[in-house]
Structure formats: C-alpha cells, structure tokens
Amino acid sequence: MPVFRTVYRRPRESGGPGQTVAGSATLDSRLRGSESATGSALLEFRAVDTYYGDLHVLKSVDYRIAAGEIVCLLGGNASGKSTTMKAIMGSVVPRRGDIIYEGHSLGGVSTAERVRRGIAPVLEARRLFPRMTVWENLEMGAYTRRRGPEFDEDLARVFVLFPRVEERLHQLAGTLSGGEQQMVAIGRALMARPKLLCMDEPSMGLSPAYVEQVFDIIRTINRQGVTIFMVEQNANMALQVADRAYVLQTGQVVLSGAAAELRETELIRHAYLGELKLA
Amino acid sequence: MRSTRVTLPRDWTLGLFGRIPARMRTPLGIICLTAAALLFPLVNGSDADIDSAANALAFAALALGLNIVVGFAGLLDLGYAAFFAIGAYAYGVASSWQVQPEWSSFWEPFRWLDLVARYHQAGGDVVHFQVSFWLMLPIAAAIAAFFGVLFGAPTLRLKGDYLAIVTLGFGEIVPIVARNTPSITNGAMGLNGVAAPQLFGYDFGVNATPYYYVGVALVAFLILTSQRLKDSRIGRAWMAIREDEIAAATMGVDRVRFKLLAFAIGAAFAGATGTFYVAKLQTATPEMFMFPVSVMVLVMIVFGGIGSVWGVVVGALLLQILQSWFLEDLSEWLHAFGRLVHIDWLQRVQLASSIELIFGLILVLMMLYRREGLIPATRRVSGLSLEEQTAEIGRGGFDGLTAMAAWDRADSGPLLEISGLTVRFGGLVALRSVELSIPARAVVAVIGPNGSGKSTLFNAVTGLVPADGAEIRFAGHDIARLRPHEVLERGIARTFQNIRLFPNLTVVENIMIGMHARLAAGPVGALLRLPANRREEAAARERALEILSLFGNRLLPRADHLAGSLSYANRRRAEIARALASQPRLLLLDEPTAGMNPAETRELADQIQSLNRHGLTILLIEHKLDVVAMLANTVIVLDHGEKIAEGPPEVVRRAEEVIRAYLGRSAALASV
Amino acid sequence: MMSDYGVLLQQVVNGLSLGAMYALLALGFTLVYGIIELINFAHFNVFMISSFVGMWALELLGISGQSRVLTGLALAGALVFAFAVTMLAAGVLGVAIERLSLRPLRGVPGTAAMITTIGVSYILFNIILLTVGAGSENYPNPLPVVRWQFGEVMLELKQLLIWGVALALMVALHVFVSRTRLGKAMRATAQDAEAARMMGVDVDRVIVTAFFLGSALAGAAALIFGLYYNYTSFIIGYTAGLRAFTAAVLGGIGSIPGAMVGGLLIGLIETLGGQLIAVRWTDVIIFSILVLVLVFVPTGLFGRATPTKS
C-alpha cells in the first residue's frame, strides 16, 4: 500500500522508522534497505538545520552518499534543494548538525579548501563567467590547483567528453547557447579533479536533446570514478540515471531509497505536489 | 556600619524628572527649550556669541531640510548647498544694487507695490530692487523648490549612488555659474549691499540679536513642519519609498510625485535659509555654497541621526558650537599648554581651521560605529507580556470584517481578464501569450514548477513589468499600461514571494501605508493639521488596528514594533494585512503560506477562505496543493511561461501535462 | 602666429597628454568599482597625497625645482625610483583605507560605504591642507625641457613621458588581468562574485588587490601630474578627480577599456573646450557631461547595464 511520510518525521535514529500517516513499515524498510550499507560514505549530512534569518529551511536533514554513487535530491519548489548544495559548498553554514566529508567535518572549512579537497560545483543556471572565454572558464575551474601534467590530463578528458567545448574554446562564454554553456559548466567543474561533483539542476532550461546528453555525460563521468550528488526538478530523468534518491519537501527528507524503486511508486508525485495531510 | 553607597547629585535630578507624568514631559521639555532659546541673548550679551548662535540656527534649518530628502525619502542629495545658494542669491539680487535694468513702464505696477524703486542716473532711469525680506522668504523658498524639482526630476530612476553623483553635479554647477555670471551675482567678489531686513520701521542693521530671533522662529517653524509631515500620510509615503520603492509603488504611493515633493520641500527649506543667511551677512559669495557646505550639512544629519527631526537639529547645533566655541577654547588651552611644555607647534595650532578634518573623522566614525546617529529615528519599544507572546492557532478564519470596503456582492462578469500576455526579459520569454479570466468572488490558484512565470504574471498585472501588447482588463477597464500605484488605486493589491515589508517602520505604519491611496491628506493639510485631517488620521489608525486584530494577538501587541523584528510567519501576516488595508477588490497572494508549519498554514488558509466568503476575489500562487485544493475553484498551471492546464483542482492534479511539468519528461533514454 | 587649425591641433596633442593621465586615474577608480560596485571618493585624494609623496621622493634624491636636470641613466633611475615609491605608497594607502573603513561595511546595503569614502576623502584632504598648507608646491622636475616642432604643433619630452608611462602601465594592467591567475580571478569576481567564490577564489584577497592596483595607478597619475604641471597642491584631487571621475563614467563605470577611452576624451574636451569656449567654463562642461551621461546613458560607452538594486 503506497503511503508517504508526513512532515512530522522525527529525526531518524539509525535504523528506526520515521512516523507515518498510515502503516507503511513494509515499504519503509524496503526503501531503506536499499541504501548503501556497504561502501564508505563520501559525504554525510547529520541532522543538519539551516536557517535563513528566522526561517527554518533545512530541518534536521540526513543524507548519506557513498563513494562512486550517483545520488539525486528531488523535491518541489522551495523544498531546500538549493540550500543543500550551498551548505555543501560552504555558502550556507548549518546552525545545527554536521556535514562530514571523507570522514572529517566540514565545519569551519572555507569554500576554497572544500574545492581543494575535491568537491566541485556545477552551479544552477550554469553561471559561467560571461565575458571570459571558454578556456578561461575552464582555467577558473582549476583555480585551486597547480598547472602541470595533471591539469593537462584533465583538460584532455574534458575535450573528449565535450568536443563542442574544444571547438568553442576561445569564444566568450556568454555567447554560447544554454546547452553548450552547460557542457562548459560541467567541464569547468571537472577541471577541479573532483571526487564529489555537486550539480544544481543540470537540466534546467535545456532542450530535451541536451538534457539527454547531459544525463549521458553524468553516467560517463560516474563510470570514471566521480561521485555525483545532483539536485534535480526533473525527477523522471534523474531517477533513470541515479542509484539512489532523496526527496525533500519543505526542508525535510520525506522519502529516500533506491532510484529503481522510487521510479515505480506514486509517492514521488505526492511529495512533489506538496501534499500535506494535517491532523 | 557605614554605608558605602554614595548618593550622587544626579540621582536627585533624575528623581525630579521621574516625578513628572509622562504625558507632560514633551510639552514641558519644549517650553523649557523655548524659554532657553528666547532668553539666551539676554543672558549672554556678547554679539559675537549671538552671531555664532544665529549661524548655528541657519545650519540647523539646513539640516532639517536635508533630513527630509535624505532622512525621510532616502534620496542621497550631495548637492544640497545649491538650493541654499539659490535662496541666497534670490534675495541678494532682489534687495541689492547689483542688478539694475533700465526703467520702463513694465516696472510701474511693481513700484506701486513697493517692490522696486526708480532711481535717476546719468545714463537714464534704472530699477532698484527692494523686495522686503519677509516677502522674499517664501518667494525664495518657492524658487528653490522649483529648482528642487528641476534637479530632482532627472534622478528619479537612478539608484542610490548614481542619484548622489547627479545631485553632486548640480550642486557644483550652481556656484560655478554664480561665479561666472558677475553681471547678476558680482562673481567671486561677492554680492554686496544686500539690504538688511526691516520690521515696522526698525532696521536690523548689523546687530546680531534680531537675526538670532528670526533664526529661532525659522527653526521652530521648520521643526514643526518636519514633525507634522513626518507623522502624516506624506511622511509615511516618503519612508515607504526609502525602505522599498517597489513595494511602496504597489501599495499605491506615486513615487514620482512624492520624490519630487521631497526634493521641493527640502529645497524650499534651504531657499528660505539662504535668504536668512544672506540677510544676516549682507553679502553672498560663491565660496559659501560649494561642495564642503553640502558635506557639512550631511555630516550634521549623520551625526545627529538621519531621519530624526530633533536629532538633526541637535547634530547641527552641536557641530556648530564645536566649530565656533569649543574649538576656539580648546585652541587656547593647547596654546597655554604648549607654552607650559615649550612645544612650539602646540602654541600655534588653530583647531578651528581643522574643523573639516574633524567633520571627516566624525563622518567615518559614525558610519562605522553608529550609523543611526546620536538620536536614532526609530523608537524603543516596550516588551511584550507572556500572554502577548503566545498565540493560539485559530481556526475558522476572520470574523468581524465589517471594516472592509464594499466588495463585489453580485456575480457580475469576470473581474480580471488577461489575453495575449507575453513578457520578455532580453532573450528570455518569461510568459508566452497567457490568457486568463477570473470571475468575481472566485479563488483562482496559479501553480507550476520553478521558473514557470507565476510571479512574472503577478508583476505584469500590477504594472511592475511591461506587458507587450497584452490586454489586461480589470472590472472592464484596461489596466495594462497603468503604473503600479494606479493599479492599486483601481483595487488590486498584492503580496510578494520574498515578503516586502518596510522593515524600519512599525507594523501599524506599514498597514497605514497600505491605506495611502484611500486617504486624501496632502502636504498642506498635513502641515496645518486641520480638523478634517486629524479625523482622517485617527480613523486610519483605528482601521489599521482593526485589521491587525483580525490576526488575533499575533500582530496587535506588536503594532508599534518595527516590522523587521517580526518572525517570518508574522511578517507574512503583516504583509497580507497591509494589502487588505487598501480595500482591494482583487487580492494577489504570492506564496502566502511559504515557511509556515502545517498548523499555521491551515489557519491562514481558513483566513483566506473567509476573506473570499466576504466577497474578496483572490488570485493565489501556492505550492502546497492541498491548500490549493481546499481554497481554489479553479487552478491554472504554468510551465515555462505557458498555460498548460486549467480546471478544478482535482482534475488538474491528475492531468498528464501537469505531472510531466513537475516531474519532467521521461525521455527515451537507454535504461541503465 | 599659429593658424586656427594649428592651435586646435596643438590642443589635441595637449588634450591627449592630459587624457592619458586622466585615463590612469580613471582606471584605478573603475577597477575598484568593477569588483565591488563602490564609488570611492577617497581615490582622488589618494591621488593628491601621492603627488606629495612623489615630490618628497624626488627631493630625497636631491632634486628640487626645475633647475636640476638629469639625463640618460640618471634620469631613468630617478624616475624609476620616484614612480616605484609613489605607486607603492599609494597602493598601501589604498589598502589601508579599505581594511580600516570599508571592509567593516561590506554587506551593508545602500550608500553607507560611499558616504564613508566621502569622509575618508575629507580626512586626507584636510591632513594635507593643515600640514602642507594651501599654497602650490613647486614640483621637483629632473626632466630636461626638450621640444620638437612638427609643423605648427609642438611636442614636449614630458608629453612623450606621459604617453610612455601610461601606455606601459595600461599594457601591464592588461597583461595582469588577462594572463595572471590573480588577474583572472579579479575578472571572474567582477562578473560573478558568488560563482568565483565557488571556484575557490579568495574574494577578499581580490578586493584588496583591486584597491592596491587602483591606488597604485592613481599614484602614477599623480607623479605624472607633478612632472607635467610643475606644481602640486591640496586641491588637485578635486580638480583632476572630477575629470577622471567623469571619464570613468563616460567610458562606462567598471569597464577598463572604457576608462582609457573616457580619459582621452575628457582630456580632449578639457583642452578644446577651454580653447573654444573659455577655461572658466570647463568645470561646468565636465559636470554637465557627468550629469547627462548618468541620466541618459548610465552605462556609458562601454559599460554593461547594471541591474537596479531592488
């Protein structure tokens, strides 16, 4: 019986079920059982609370992303997806809870240091530097690194993934189409040689053809060993590419589990459309 | 055991002060102040001191004027001295021998009015201007006001720092023009022979005392004017513009009119002061009106407290006293000290000439450490009782909505009709040919994923965003090309997704700005405070409190708190209250329940429903679809700027296109 | 007797020399604006103080007045020393102003920071006025007076110096922002500070660098002023500053090529305006240009539309 968890979920003790509206224990454990118990966690959110002024945005949120996975973060408007990305990069500082990367807390770690440690962002709406060339944008991606053979390797890899990028290397980034910009944005992030790639809505504003390309590339990059944590509105596409998914609704994780299973249920739709059962 | 407590004399005076009832404190204070001001020349006989005091009063008047432009309306004017100059030269030319046109019959009626005189000269008869000082005061104010509008008009659309630079430009051009047109102004040498004022035959001459009293009267009048304007519809409109121009416009404030009014009144203050100052000095040179003077007045208001009427007066007086008395005395002490310790440099230092350095230091230090000034404009508020702090979640919505205007009772055709609405931002199409028809008394919800154009739709309806060639009809009238405040006047009010209250104004003031378009008081009425105006203000405040009371004890106990200090949910409620205050026929709510917990959401949903039941038509952007299901008759779904579905909530929710819009297309991807 | 055409041509040459100096001053101003969108009034009095520093540097070398003339290597050495000292001092002063009075205000919305720069400007201005006094100071000038005649137009060595220094500095700046890591970080920050931060850029360091470079350019312009006019005084921050400010606005505040072109244009307007209308009206002309550009074409010649702050 498909059900969904309400917003009144208590912070989850490890292994315990959250409160639900009607008995859903079966689905609960089924969904949670598919979480990676094996594989070390590359990134973890532990009971993270963030605020915007006095507005409680993320409410005791837990994520666990194992190395090598593609995990997507889904949810409707104003659910806290972008804030999650910002918290990982360090623009937003949690008021409570902890963000753990490679076993160490990211508390107090600067954005630049996080990039150096291997977290790179692909920003919402690309946000390339419009009056710098494609080449300069790629260079900026590698800002925290030294030039050298590794840099050249990564550049070559980017060119292989994105031949169009190489074609347009000396064009001003602002003159590229949306899809081309997205390629450059991903390439720019890859130039940081990241272990964890944080993508904020990679498919937004792209034509269906480009959306397919982007998701193809995500798979390829992942096969090359990059862990991917992806925020997406386009749940259907995201679930076809991801291993696991979390679903946010008004700042709380209301669903989590294997992408394959979430694809089948109606729960996603309920969560997306912000459906709320009140006492 | 000996008591170790020492009772200081201060305690005694504080005790005395505390025994005066609060109600009496302000009038008593004013009486004491007035008495001190009037008695001052009798107590201190030194003409030099009285002259310094008169100068100080002139600058206090300037500070009051600049306070209106910068402090009330938030327009940073760096060229304020230009208006000072204009008022000064106006009187200078009108009462000196500088300008002497040839006599002709044109001047006869003026001679009859005793404004000019005819003088015989070798080359022919000439006109000598001799306009009376008292007549010139309001005339110079009017001339300066005219220039205030002239210089202010180009700046209306500029943002803060660009506006400042343009006013700086004008402020510099005026004295340079004065210097370069010696035929009118006698250039750098200065206008001489300016006539001293005369009162009932008594000529003011060079004695400082009569000027001092004129100065006191001038400052008193300007304080009264400032205070009255501040506590009126005009002042509220200015402060709304200062806090958030866009929100002010959507709440009915005509930005152009009120910005120009601020420039005009501020300039008028300076114009009158210019006349006074020049009459006292009996000369006017361009150097008296250059950029340093504008900066000095700015430092005075920053020091005293931007926006606070008494604050800027105190700031001006203190800085002038500093310059003319204290620094002189301090220099004397330093000379003596220098003689004592045989330091040559100390014996020669002249602190008075370093006044500008001190001004610069004061400006920087105040900006860094106390931006609100000595006497801040915002008041302290009393704490809340425990009962006032806790609020119970109510259900069932509003009762007692009799304060609202007559709303649509009959189903009389569509209230809002939109067709062909396309909005472009550069190359991006935010809305594409949107069509919409909202019947009266309906609740229509607009939903859609991020970036689908929902807020843009609201912006187009309320005139914030141009609607290319669209037709937008409200109650039969075309409103597509109206400016935001005109849209509000027609009866459409809105709230904003990211809440745009006026943070440094109290909750009540925020609500009363919502009423701006429904009140009638103008600047003259505000100044004179006629019985009709006072009645209107009292009724307005009462109505505001009534609207606040609709929300139980969430807002009412906080009526005099600054809006910025409210919790997130309360700020949402206050914004809705402000929109309701404008007596709208159509209410546009942009994500009203965002950030609220389920119980608060349900409470607000009930309240919205009761508003609708009383006759208010509602257009609602909302993400929580059960709220939508509860409230809406019709749901409209936008995706990428286009309307992809329309219908009752239950139907829309299950529609293929809607689900696809939210969850995304599942393209034919090769499966993993 | 020069023909009208010759007079005009001479003024064009003079205007381009002045313009080069204004361009340097405007460049420094626009560099800072491009990154943090701040109108820094203090910039122009940093310029003024730097001219005094340059004067003292030259006096240190034993040069005073225009009587002591150097040539060849000695001249080059003296100039290099003077420029280095002046630019360094100016840069340090600019950074000090930023750290002490502007950094605490970062994030405060509205015009608070700009008002603070007015205060700082006042402080600098009055420090010089009170210590050195209101008179003009005779500027030490080791440059030999060499003139070349081209038809009706006369070219002086010091004009060549101005063009040379200005060109060299502009090229250096261009190389810095387009080839070096920190320079590209500056450009990135000016275009999207948040995204730059996400790339690991230390935005604070970028801001300090902008202030240092901008002020150093003002220092160079200041030394040029002294060598060109053979005097300096406390008021030059105001007079030259107005022109440089208008140049930056005319070219488009925040745009580097804009500042260069704007500077040259204003230099030409000043000399030709003074020639064709009257010198005492040049201030009004320049202020009018400032007002007209801001009101009708706020983005200037090369600038991009800055979004309205809501």
DSSP state of B380: P
Are B368 and C104 within 8 A, CB to CB? Answer: yes
The pLDDT of residue A6 = 34
Sign, CA torsion C92/C94/C97/C102: negative
Average pLDDT of chain C is 90
Chain A contact for C187, CB < 8 A?
yes
> In this predicted model, what pLDDT tens digit does every residue of A203-228 receive, in sequence order?
887 888 888 889 999 999 999 999 99
Q: Which residues of C touch A197 (CB under 8 A)?
A: none
- Residue of B498, B565, B663 for testing the chain A interface, max A β-carbons within 10 Å: B663
Residue B617 clears pLDDT 80, i.e. is over it: yes
Q: Do residue B663 and residue A234 have CB atoms under 8 angstroms apart?
A: yes
> From CA B279, how far away is CA B543, in angstroms rounded?
48
- For A126-179, write each residue's pLDDT tens digit: 899 999 999 999 999 999 988 889 999 999 999 999 988 888 899 999 899 888
pLDDT in tens, B464-511: 998 878 899 998 889 988 999 999 999 999 999 989 999 999 999 999
Query: Could you say which of B567, B594, B663 has the minimum Cβ distance to residue A236?
Result: B663
Q: Are C41 and C118 in contact (CB under 8 A)?
A: yes
**Hey, which chains touch C, using 3+ CB pairs under 8 Å?**
A, B
How many whole angstroms separate alpha carbon B307 and alpha carbon B298?
Answer: 12
* Stronger pLDDT, B335 or C55, i.e. the higher one: C55
CB A220 within 8 A of CB A183: no
C199 interface with A at CB cutoff 8 Å = yes
Q: How many contacts, defined by CB atoms under 8 Å, are there between A and B?
A: 83
Instruction: Return the residue of A nearest to B429 by Cα.
Output: A205
Please give the Cα distance from C307 to B99 (Å, whole number). 49
Region B594-610: what's the mean pLDDT?
89
The pLDDT assigned to A23 comes to 32
Q: Within its chain, how far is the Cα of A187 from the centroid?
A: 16
> What pLDDT score does A14 carry?
36
- Would residue C136 be called left, alpha or beta, if left means φ above 0 and alpha means ψ between -120 and 50 degrees? beta
Does residue B672 belong to the interface with chain A, where contact is any CB pair within 8 Å?
A: yes
C155 touches chain B (CB under 8 A): no
Q: Which residue has the higher pLDDT, C136 or A264?
A: C136
Average pLDDT over residues B160-176: 92
Q: Give the residue-averaged pLDDT of B200-226.
A: 89
The confidence band for B552, taking pLDDT boundaries of 50, 70 and 90, is confident
| Mean pLDDT for the stretch of residues B439-467 | 90
d(CA B22, CA B2): 37
Q: Whole-prediction pTM value? A: 0.88
Contacts of C187 in chain A (CB under 8 A): 129, 131-132, 136
What is d(CA A98, CA A44) in angstroms, rounded to the nearest whole number?
8
> What pLDDT, on the 0 to 100 scale, is given for residue B200?
80
Find the mean pLDDT for residues A99-124.
93
Comparing A9 with A191, the larger pLDDT belongs to A191
C136 pLDDT exceeds 60? yes
- Residue to mutate among C115, C130, C297, with most B CBs inside 10 A, is C115
CA distances from C219 to C15, C214, C253 (A): 20, 9, 20
Tell me the angle at which helices C42-60 and C72-97 cross, rounded to the nearest 10 degrees: 140
DSSP state of B325: I
Least CB–CB distance from C187: residue in A115, A121, A132: A132
Residue C186 dihedral angles phi and psi, to the nearest 5°: -65, -45
- Calculate how close chain A gets to C107, using CA atoms only, in Å: 15
- Phi and psi at residue C153, in whole multiples of 5°? -105, 140
Q: Is the pLDDT of residue B402 over 90?
A: no
Determine contact, residues B453/B641, Cβ cutoff 8 Å.
yes
DSSP string, B129-184: E---HHHHHHHHHHHHHHHHHHHHGGGTTS-HHHHHHHHHHHHHHHHHHHHH-HHH
Phi, psi of B360, rounded to the nearest 5 degrees: -60, -45
Percent of chain B with pLDDT over 70: 90
pLDDT in tens, A169-180: 999 998 998 889
pLDDT digits (tens, 9 = 90+) for C2-57: 678 888 889 999 999 999 999 999 999 999 999 999 999 999 999 999 999 999 99
Tokens of B314: 């105190």
Contact indicator for B187, B25 with CB cutoff of 8 Å: no
Q: Is the dihedral of CA C82, C85, C91, C94 positive or negative?
A: negative
Residue range B545-560: average pLDDT? 89
Q: Is B213 on the interface with A (CB under 8 A)?
A: no
Token pair 């009423």: residue: B515
What was the pLDDT predicted at B394?
65
Q: From the list C187, C197, C199, which residue is nearest A141 (CB)?
A: C199
Q: Yes or no: say if A238 and A72 are a contact pair by the CB < 8 Å rule.
A: yes
Q: What is the pairing mode between strands C153-156 and B202-203?
A: unpaired
Q: Which residues of C touch A129 (CB under 8 A)?
A: 187-188, 191-192, 195-196
Give residue B22's pLDDT.
67
C-chain CB neighbours of B154 within 8 Å are: 291, 295
Mean predicted confidence (pLDDT) in A270-274: 66
Indicate the range of A111-115, B229-233, B402-406, C26-30 predicted with least confidence: B402-406
In sequence order, the β-bridge partners of residue C231 are: C138
pLDDT at C146 over 70: yes
Quick one: closest CA in B to C40, which residue? B161
Rounded average pLDDT over B68-95: 94
Long-range contacts formed by C201-204: CB under 8 A, 24+ apart: C201/A112, C201/A140, C201/A143, C202/A112, C204/C103
Chain A partners (3+ C-beta pairs within 8 A)? B, C
Calpha distance C290→C283 (Å, rounded): 11
What's the whole-number mean pLDDT along residues B155-182?
Answer: 91
Name the minimum distance, in Å, from the CA of C305 to any CA of chain A: 14
Selected residue with higher pLDDT from B379 and A20: B379
Q: Which of A15-24, A184-193, B28-37, B650-659 has the highest mean pLDDT?
A: A184-193
Residue B216 CB contacts under 8 Å (≥ 6 apart), including other chains: B37, B38, B57
Closest by Cα among A58, A178, A55 to A124: A178
CB spacing of C201 vs A123 below 8 angstroms: no
Taking CB atoms and an 8 Å cutoff, what residues of chain C touch A123? 195, 198
Quick one: average pLDDT of A182-198? 94
- The predicted pLDDT at position A134 comes to 94
Report how far apart, in Å, the C-alpha atoms of B334 and of each of B162, B322, B346, B352, C128 are: 43, 16, 6, 12, 21
**Cβ atoms of residues A171 and A124 within 8 Å:** no
Confidence of residue A29 (pLDDT cuts 50, 70, 90): very low
Q: Is the pLDDT of residue B411 over 70?
A: no
The C-alpha angle with vertex B257 and arms to B254 and B258, in degrees rounded to 5, equals 80
pLDDT at res. B626 = 83
> C-alpha distances in angstroms, B222 versus B41, B144, B382, C48, C284?
21, 16, 30, 40, 33
Q: Where are the beta strands (DSSP E) in A89-184?
A: 96-101, 104-105, 119-122
In this predicted structure, the answer to whether residue B592 has a pLDDT above a threshold of 60 is: yes
Give residue B41's pLDDT.
Answer: 80
C-alpha distances (whole Å) from A129 to each of A144, A179, B99, B241, B451 are 17, 15, 61, 34, 22
The kind and range of the H/E element at B617 are strand B617-621
Residues listed for chain A: 279
Interface check for A62 against chain C (CB to CB < 8 A): the answer is no
- State the best of B359, B363, B502 to mutate against chain C, taking most chain C CBs within 10 Å: B363
pLDDT at A15 over 60: no
Instruction: Please report the pLDDT score of residue A8 as a whole number.
Output: 33
Longest dimension (CA), chain C: 65
The mean pLDDT value of chain A amounts to 81
Residue B638 has pLDDT above 80, yes or no: yes
Minimal Cβ distance to C200: which of A111, A123, A136: A111
State the pLDDT confidence band at A39, using cuts at 50, 70 and 90: low
Query: In the block, which residue shows the tokens 């090359």?
Result: A224
* pLDDT tens profile B252-294: 999 999 999 999 999 999 999 999 999 999 888 998 999 999 9
Among A54, A76, A279, select the one facing B623 at the smallest CB separation.
Answer: A76
Q: Note whether B671 contacts A: Cβ–Cβ < 8 A.
A: yes
Mean pLDDT throughout A118-125? 92
Question: Is residue B77 less than 8 Å (CB to CB) from chain C?
Answer: no
Question: Does B7 contact A at CB distance below 8 Å?
Answer: no
Chain B CA closest to residue A219:
B672
Contact between chains at A144 and C198 (C-beta distance less than 8 A): no
Q: Token pair for residue B272?
A: 């009158």
Q: Which helix (H) or strand (E) holds B332?
A: helix B327-341
Disruptive mutation site among C105, C117, C287, C304 for chain B (greatest number of B CBs within 10 Å)? C287
Beta bridge partners of A246: A73, A256
Looking at residue A35, what is its pLDDT?
A: 44
